[in-house]
Amino acid sequence: MKLEQVQHLLPEMAQLIASLIGLPKALKLIEAWGGTTFPVSKNQRRQGQIRYEALAEVVGVDAADILTRHFGGEVLAIPRCAAALRAMRNQQIRDSFDSLSRHHPASHAVHQLARQYQITERQVWSILKTATDRTTGEQQGALF
């Protein structure tokens, strides 16, 4: 599953950032500083240049220029995007389980996935039991 498939789960600010600099660079910013605030400088004073360089190190010079033009002088609240990232992780777990369980018992596959994603085996089983609509990324409830 790609982030584009769960883009509707992203907070409004993350969607704005992604529209400005592209989804891959927005994801780098979210992974680096998600859940924090970042004062976007106008890149005019020394302190602003230091902040600009830190931003450019994460997203690249072109994207840092775009963010500076758009948000310069503001404090940018960078969202964590937990729901979208969790949906992506859960789909990756389901896909990996399908692949692993072709060659190994289900319990072995679950054990490997729990170690790989640093979650409990119980949580992996729970993720596997929850059906997901692959077009919307939303969880489906049980029929009865």
* The two structure tokens encoding residue 128: 């596997």
Is the distance from CB of 29 to CB of 79 less than 8 angstroms? no
The CA R_g of the chain, rounded to the nearest whole Å, is: 19
* The two structure tokens encoding residue 11: 């907070």
Tell the residue number behind the tokens 């500083």, with chain if given: 33
What confidence score (pLDDT) does residue 135 get? 42
User: Where are the domains positioned within the chain?
Assistant: 3-80, 84-134
Residue type, 100: L
Whether this model's pTM surpasses 0.85: no
Averaged pLDDT, 52-63 = 96
- Strand-pairing partners, residue 37, are 77
Task: Provide the mean pLDDT of the chain.
Answer: 87
Report the C-alpha gap between 77 and 94 in whole angstroms.
32
pLDDT tens, position by position, 88-135 = 899 999 999 999 999 999 999 999 999 999 999 999 999 999 866 544
Report the C-alpha gap between 83 and 60 in whole angstroms.
26
Is the distance from CB of 21 to CB of 61 less than 8 angstroms? no
Report the C-alpha gap between 33 and 57 in whole angstroms.
12
Is the distance from CB of 96 to CB of 113 less than 8 angstroms? yes
